[in-house]
Structure 1
């Protein structure tokens, strides 16, 4: 091999190695930065949704508060009024309210009324999360948020 070809190879090989290394590092950092941005966006979106949900729950409490403080209603009448109110309330484009007693029995579910009266304490989502148990734990701890998977069925209004 001529000396000129050897010199060109000795010049090009390190250049190719440096270029490939810089490219790999740049792509790796871009991927890490993109994943970080997605994580930050997701957390921000969750905080926004949690804040909106908290406001909606407070509005729901305001909507049923009168039933708890009306001395003319019996306990059963007050419970029925609360159920009826929660069945009618909606938030956002597809949000609704549901209620469980402390043992995991569904009391209100406007979208899936066949769940009312059923004990769903050991209900698991597709990830194996005992969602009703977790929601009751959050409620007994004073409130909070729990993410779980749930297949929503669209309500057809007529």
Structure 2
């Protein structure tokens, strides 16, 4: 059986699963992004702390500079950071200066979860992901959010950043839209064969926009097309784990 017929069999027998896989891989990309950005922010704080160690500024000045820079730091147009002390007192929170300096330790989200306590626990344990409900900028209605948090021990802070899950869903389309997207890809493979693979890799085309793309693997898990990282093409996805340590080929 050829890769094309295998792919088409997977596609039309289990479209919802394929659509879900596309979304999961996009979600993993976002997870890696926020983790990388938080690690970069913590590295910035480390550089500031190093200046204090050299005697270039006091400890208080170093913490103030760190908070001021963290408050203004942005990425990916809307990405921002926050920080709380390991005791739960907020240090930085974008567009919520009224919260800074106040304890959030006992705060609960709309589901009743003590999300700050979980954030602090994950952060102090070496970093991790937390899901909770939190309002968007200038809004009062809480939305589902997924964040990565990491502690900076010299300041006794836990730094975090995240993305809203509803926004992630809108970017990648509904399940039906994703199914239609995959169907169009299958049609193109049926018409053009292997030539379609090159089209799937073209940035800015209908096949590769932002976090949405098509990937192709056979029934044995051999990956043929993976636009976000072509170096991993021809690898077996059964040997690759997602951000939570689960095999993505299962």
Same fold (TM over 0.5): yes
> Are residues 1:92 and 2:76 paired?
yes
**2:130 is the counterpart of 1:128:** no
SS in structure 2 at match of 1:146? strand
RMSD: 1.9
Whole-Å separation in 1 of the counterparts to 2:15 and 2:135: 29
2:36 is the alignment partner of 1:52: no
Residues 67 and 73, structure 1, Cα contact 8 Å, conserved in 2: no
1:62-119 residue CA offsets vs partner (Å, 9 max, x unmatched): 3222210112211100000001110110122221110001111101113211110111
Partner Cα distance (1:124, 1:44) in 2: 30
CA contact (8 A) 1:107 1:116 kept: yes
Deviations 1:119-154, CA, capped at 9 Å, x for gaps: 111212222222111111101110011122211115
* TM-score of the two chains, using structure 1 as the length reference: 0.70
Aligned counterparts of 2:113 and 2:76: Cα–Cα separation in 1: 25
Structural mapping, 1:12-51, within 5 Å: 33-51=14-32
* Alignment equivalent of 1:107, drawn from 91, 95, 102: 91
Pick closer, same or farther for the CA change 1:45–1:125 going to 2, 3 Å: farther
Deviation at 1:35, TM superposition (A): 4.1
Provide closer, same or farther for how the CA distance between residues 43 and 62 of structure 1 changes in structure 2, counting only shifts above 3 A: same
Change (3 A) 1:67 1:149: same
Q: CA deviation at 1:38?
A: 4.2
Task: Name which one, 1 or 2, has greater alpha-carbon Rg.
Answer: 1
Normalising to structure 2: TM-score of the pair? 0.46
Distance 1:131 1:38, change over 3 A: farther
Separation in 2, partners of 1:52, 1:79: 25
The structure in which a higher percent of residues are helix is 1
Greater length-normalized contact order (CA 8 Å, ≥ 6 residues apart): 2
